[in-house]
Structure 1
Amino acid sequence: MTRLVPLLLLVSLAFTGRLLAAAGGRPMTVDDLLSVKSVADPQVSPDGTQVVYVVSEVDREAGRSNSSLWVVPVAGGEPKQLTTAKGANTHPRWSPDGASIAFVSSRSGSNQVWLLPLDGGEARQLTDLPIDVDGPIWSPTGDHLAVVAHVYPGLSPEDTAKKDKEKGEVKTSAQSYDQLMVRHWMSWNDGKRSHLFVVDAKTGAARDLTPDLPVNVPPAPFGGSTDYAFSSDGKTLAFTAEPLENRPWSTNSDLWTVPVDGGELTNLTAGNPAADAHPSFSPDGKWFAYLSQKRAGFEADQWVLNVIPTSDLGTGKPIPLTAVIDRPVSSFSWDRDRPALLAIVDDGGDSVVYEVPALARMAPRPILTGDGSYGDAQRAADGVIVFTRSSAARPTELWADPPGPDNYRTLTAHNNALIEPLDLPSAESFTFAGADGDEVQGWLVRPPGLEEGKKVPVLFLIHGGPQGSWHDSWHSRWNLALFAAPGYAVVAVNPRGSTGFGQQFTDQISTDWSGRVYEDLMKGLDHALDTYDFLDADRIAAAGGSYGGYMVNWIAGHSDRFKALISHAGVFDLHSMYFTTEELWFPEWEFGGPPWENPEAYQTHSPSNFVQNFKTPTLVIHGALDFRVPDAQGLGMFTALQRRGVPSRYLFFPDEGHWIAKPANRVTWWNEIHQWLAKYLDDSSS
């Protein structure tokens, strides 16, 4: 971990005129953001009366996060802390009888599964492998758990640890590869793969159920324990695995089954050439649910929630329950007592909860919407729904919704004391006519302490993906409240390509990265300037990350309306980007094939071809471990700006990837951004 750098003032002295907050509180600072406690991974107990969850806090001195387990009654009451050991204490899962909680802890020096009895007593270590394990889930029968661990295919955990030791003793640092992927996201390919293990719940003995599989279970880097599940009788495990062929340019992850006692692997979704994920058996064992996409090679194709009778697994035709709503499903859980599911759906700029009948006799319907974004919805006892909720003005906490109208109530308040003294303006939704006259949605966040009749600078944010969206939610990195804190009004538009507005709207950015999406963005900014009279049209900056960084680079060559630009992890040269990124399916879908088949698309939409127009002062940010958008893209943008004589700055993080995650680096990131904006947006006469 990097040592913490001394905290820089958030150039607050330069903003004294604008930092005067309303009587209700003061503007947020980066110290406040890093002090927010992360509330995540709620799990309802088998009897539906309690929720165990994880609270994480940034340890600035250690340069990491400490996480602990908490439990709170569904009926309400004071949350109770269950673990106090420093380091990682994560991924709690109730045993079927509710007597204990399995979780992952680093307290023994590596990540292992521990069991915590609920009737009192200390947690005991269950697994003791020479390698880290993660993601424990219980068998419904309570005699086994499933976990994942990284091994060399064909080698045991012990032999894997031995091989790692031998590799560490070799004097040469040379690495050789015979096939792609050489690296992925922010890790080089070391030959190991994540495999699925079954663990004896009494002895901790572990057995690899996928010993010779040459790909990851679950898929890297973002797969998790929702990608494997026990059957209701505990005899079978279903799991998601990466494509067996052409992994760098294939999205064809499949669902497989394997007997818990070991044996042959069976592919359940071989007939679908696109992605399948998140297998889940219904509590009564009659149904099997999962998510799937239709189009091969397109990572942003709509995720649809399907069910199929377990008696038809591998042979029957699944029922696409959510295709009718034309919105992507990000996660789901089975209802407690009936054949229905609760799904988290990306819908119109928010994450909302839908109830989805498994029998498809009734259409899915939204049941929890508005006032922020929702996640992790689960049914507890007496019909209560437990979920997480956040907004641009409120960090994530646990909530409960008993039957009946408007019965929401909070279960946790871990961040109340922190945010009470802060002025955190809400995100306001607006719509406008974008390209082709289509309706486009966006968000406005007012600056704290906005004075009547005063004009304020505008920060125009562009999201990544490009198939993503801005939600009314609390973000630990691109936090809307902290962007607004120095006195800026934040405008964040969901242009063409954004998710949650129908698949056609999402599709319309592919092969057109700089067309309708650019028109949507500029019209959205114009609409905000025309609608909100406190926005200063003469003091506007734009910032974005990933695709948002690409669009900032594009804007640099196509518009002079901005006083300053900030490009984080942005694509600069599409041709070289193709040959240095790792997930080749992405550019091949977005630009209609590889460069040698469709060179015109790569040339037409590449910011590098418009360097002659660069004039706007630009802050360029990149991480050396960003293998998704390699750091040469950021360096190329900075080189072009410097050669053109444009005021510019290159902020480089040797130990970060696509996202800036380490506490000290996050402080530097925010300070550099605020300083850059102050330099070009501050009006000394105000």
Structure 2
Amino acid sequence: MTFEDMMKMRRLGEIAVSPDGRWVMYSATDVSLAQNTKTSHLWMVPVAGGESHALLAWEAGESRGRFSPDGKQILFESTREGGQQIWLADFDGATGKIGEPHKLTSLSTETDGAMWSPDGKSILFTSAVYPECNDDSCNQQKDEASAESKVKAQVFTHLLYRHWDHFTGDKRSHLFLVSADGSALRDLTPGDGHDVPPFSMGGPDQYAFAPDGKEIAFEENLDPVAATSTNSDIFTLRLDDANAKPVKISTAAGGDHSPAYSPDGKSIAWRSQARAGYESDRFRLVVYDRASKKITEPLPDFDRWIDEFVWAPDSQKIYFAAGDLGEEPVFVTSLDGKQSSELTDEGTYGDLHVTPDGKTIVAARQTVRVPGDVVALETDRVRKAAAGMAHRRVTYASPTDLGMTQTFFMQKDVTHLNAVLLEALDLSKMEHYWFSSLGRVRVEGFILRPPGFDETKKYPVKMLIHGGPQGEWGDSWSYRWNAELFAANGYVVVMINPGGSVGYGQAFVDRVNRDWGGKPYLDLMNGMTAAEVKYPFIDKSRECALGASYGGFMADWILGHTDRFRCIVTHDGMFNPESAYGTTEELWFNEWEFGSTPWTNRAMYRRWSPMLSAPRMKTPTLVIHSQHDYRLDVSEGYQLFTTLQRMGVPSKMLYFPDESHWVTKPQNSQLWYKTVNDWVDQWTK
């Protein structure tokens, strides 16, 4: 596989299922390397399988398609006439075709996250507005005045004045309701200085309608300093009372996320975290009884993160996806938790939908060898587990140890977005291996062999270090750090899930807390040694370590603590924790991970400071950082590069003035992969 091959692949986006359970509407992104663009388009395919057909092919693209409750219309979002707006089109359920779309909204502040009300008469969406404005004319005038002003200075009076890749400014996200005919626009969360919903990296919706359409549930964080708080709460708001105020129904000290009403309207489920200030606490599934106002937890002993969920049509079961030992299976549980089962084995599943008859689960699925496709799981048909899965799972505590059964559903592919291209490529299968680390803890690693693998040869190694630190490597596809592409030019790729990785229980996640360069570092080193012993084709004299975000920190830490690697690649890493605290924005992260602030716990910040190991740094290092990375400011990259140059360490810096924490523009991504692979080749080939 080449980089150009990867750019030709169509990237699956969101999916939606028609109310009659017959059709799947999905978005897919096409990349133009020549034009340096990525464009999303909407497609339709029968749930039973068959040919997909494009609904539109607008140059501006379309996304977030949603069926109306009666199945006679779809809504979607597009920037066809300037800013992103909501569009509607008639839908023919017999043919899967749509009529000529018309634009529903024309807000100067644009729209996002649109969804239908249960009766199909209204649409809920978000828009970033000035809290003091009561209409769009006011918002437009303020934006125009700001654009025309020669003064671009900003005045900050509170923290979280910038976030991830942008300055937050004076606007706040609000929830709006608009009639399906475009009239009666209503700001449901007017005034105040809080975002509704709070910032999200994507994933499940942060708001939902009650089945009768008279109430919504949504997330909001009312803590006075958003930069130090993870405590988003769940609120409900009556829509049939113009004077109604939001009512808080969640009680956890940590974050509460992704509310969803049961189809019978009796309950609201969401994902909840117990500990305040800890964004990586276990995401538990909780259910709120609307009549008794009691909150219960169906699976109190399920030691995995609930990443997303969906109600069964009968309101008696909940399907959910949760990371487990490098995979992301689908599970099901009854509301009392007494009947629960794992439904899939290999692969990473998400974007779950259940057909109205309850017979099919429609989901997105990906593996390390295949990017996202739509699949259908038939709930009334079961199959045997994939060969070798049982052996892999008994190596570490898994859901079956918590009383869950394994009932694997029959699965069929609904789409084949990249089948023709993939068939022509030599892509390696991911292999699992286990080893013991400090404290007799079992840790999992993965390897990919290079194309055209020859058992008799020795191969150089790229050891990839994931970010987070509460992240994971596993059976999934990535366009930013693609394991297959790293292996493609003759390398064994090693990926280890050290302490802090998810999918192995919360105690393993907590293994990284306040110990950034301790046990996780030893896990990585022990894992690399275990791979060298297990796989004799690894040339341990030609190894390179590559990491981004927390993986960038760990690459910096490795740089000052071992000379076993021939080269280092560090992307957007933390080099100086004390300066990183003052230049980051989500302060809850640093304060949790380093146990308070630098002036109250300076010893911890200095204990895990790669900068203080500068005299021991010798390994040739490629430093990568971007100007609009506000999670880990570009100054962290500058400091490391300056240090390496002054220490006489062979080094190079790749700087992107137009990227953030990730490199997203196609041609920038092309330069990134070329620079990284050339650097590794220079020192290991």
User: Normalising by structure 2, what TM-score?
Assistant: 0.93
The question of whether the paired residues in 2 share the 8 Å contact of 1:400 and 1:408 is answered with yes
- Which one scores higher on RCO, CA 8 angstroms, separation ≥ 6? 1
CA deviation after TM superposition for structure 1 residue 276, in Å: 0.7
1:196 & 1:60 partners in 2: Cα distance?
36
Between 1:171-180 and 1:562-571, the stretch displaced more is 171-180
2:100 & 2:171 partners in 1: Cα distance?
34
1:505 & 1:543 partners in 2: Cα distance?
22
Deviations 1:19-46 (A, max 9, x none): xxxxxxxxx1111111111112111111
Between 1:287-296 and 1:108-117, the stretch displaced more is 108-117
Supply the AA of the counterpart residue of 1:353.
Answer: V
The question of whether the paired residues in 1 share the 8 Å contact of 2:572 and 2:634 is answered with yes
The question of whether the paired residues in 1 share the 8 Å contact of 2:283 and 2:305 is answered with yes
Q: Which residue of 2 aligns with 1:391?
A: 367
Establish whether residue 161 from structure 1 lines up as the match of residue 161 from structure 2. Answer: no
Between 1:218-227 and 1:204-213, the stretch displaced more is 218-227
Deviations 1:403-461 (A, max 9, x none): 31233211111111221211111111111111211111111111111123000001001
1:437 & 1:599 partners in 2: Cα distance?
31
2:246 & 2:377 partners in 1: Cα distance?
40
Q: Which residue of 2 aligns with 1:606?
A: 609
Any idea what SS the aligned residue of 2:371 has? strand
- Determine which of 230, 236, 256 is the counterpart of 1:251: 230
CA deviation after TM superposition for structure 1 residue 336, in Å: 2.2
1:137 & 1:394 partners in 2: Cα distance?
30
Q: Which residue of 1 aligns with 2:401?
A: none
- Determine which of 663, 666, 669 is the counterpart of 1:666: 669
Between 1:430-439 and 1:623-632, the stretch displaced more is 430-439
Between 1:516-525 and 1:211-220, the stretch displaced more is 211-220
1:224 & 1:442 partners in 2: Cα distance?
26
Runs of 4+ in 1 over 6 A off after TM superposition: none
CA deviation after TM superposition for structure 1 residue 308, in Å: 1.6
Supply the AA of the counterpart residue of 1:583.
Answer: E
Q: Which residue of 2 aligns with 1:191?
A: 170
Establish whether residue 139 from structure 1 lines up as the match of residue 117 from structure 2. Answer: yes
Unpaired segments ≥5 residues, structure 1:
1-27
Q: Which residue of 2 aligns with 1:107?
A: 80
- Determine which of 529, 539, 543 is the counterpart of 1:536: 539
Any idea what SS the aligned residue of 2:551 has? helix
Between 1:591-600 and 1:378-387, the stretch displaced more is 378-387
Which residues of 2 match residues 240-639 of structure 1 at below 5 A? 240-261=219-240, 262-269=242-249, 271-312=251-292, 316-362=293-339, 364-370=340-346, 372-380=347-355, 381=357, 383-402=359-378, 403-406=380-383, 407-639=410-642
CA deviation after TM superposition for structure 1 residue 225, in Å: 6.5
Supply the AA of the counterpart residue of 1:286.
Answer: K
1:677 & 1:495 partners in 2: Cα distance?
23
1:581 & 1:191 partners in 2: Cα distance?
19
In structure 2, relative to structure 1, the CA distance for the partners of 1:632 and 1:465 (3 Å cut) is same
Deviations 1:197-224 (A, max 9, x none): 0010123542111111311122114257
Q: Which residue of 2 aligns with 1:238?
A: 217
Q: Which residue of 1 aligns with 2:160?
A: 181
Which residues of 2 match residues 114-153 of structure 1 at below 5 A? 114-119=87-92, 120-153=98-131
Deviations 1:533-561 (A, max 9, x none): 11111100000000000000000000000
CA deviation after TM superposition for structure 1 residue 260, in Å: 2.4
1:223 & 1:535 partners in 2: Cα distance?
38
Which residues of 2 match residues 13-28 of structure 1 at below 5 A? 28=1
Any idea what SS the aligned residue of 2:659 has? coil
Any idea what SS the aligned residue of 2:374 has? strand
1:275 & 1:226 partners in 2: Cα distance?
15
Q: Which residue of 2 aligns with 1:40?
A: 13
1:225 & 1:152 partners in 2: Cα distance?
26
CA deviation after TM superposition for structure 1 residue 57, in Å: 0.7
2:204 & 2:154 partners in 1: Cα distance?
31
Equivalenced residues, count: 650
1:474 & 1:337 partners in 2: Cα distance?
34
CA deviation after TM superposition for structure 1 residue 572, in Å: 0.1
Q: CA RMSD in A?
A: 1.4
2:666 & 2:609 partners in 1: Cα distance?
33
CA deviation after TM superposition for structure 1 residue 189, in Å: 2.1
The question of whether the paired residues in 2 share the 8 Å contact of 1:269 and 1:276 is answered with no
2:475 & 2:204 partners in 1: Cα distance?
27
Establish whether residue 203 from structure 1 lines up as the match of residue 182 from structure 2. Answer: yes
Supply the AA of the counterpart residue of 1:333.
Answer: V
CA deviation after TM superposition for structure 1 residue 130, in Å: 1.9
Supply the AA of the counterpart residue of 1:141.
Answer: D
2:334 & 2:180 partners in 1: Cα distance?
34
Any idea what SS the aligned residue of 1:234 has? coil
CA deviation after TM superposition for structure 1 residue 270, in Å: 5.7
2:519 & 2:669 partners in 1: Cα distance?
33
Between 1:57-66 and 1:493-502, the stretch displaced more is 57-66
Deviations 1:217-240 (A, max 9, x none): 221142576101011110111111
In structure 2, relative to structure 1, the CA distance for the partners of 1:287 and 1:269 (3 Å cut) is closer
2:221 & 2:137 partners in 1: Cα distance?
24
Unpaired segments ≥5 residues, structure 2:
93-97, 384-409
1:232 & 1:401 partners in 2: Cα distance?
25
- Determine which of 634, 641, 644 is the counterpart of 2:644: 641
Q: Which residue of 2 aligns with 1:219?
A: 198
- Percent identity reads 40
1:382 & 1:577 partners in 2: Cα distance?
49
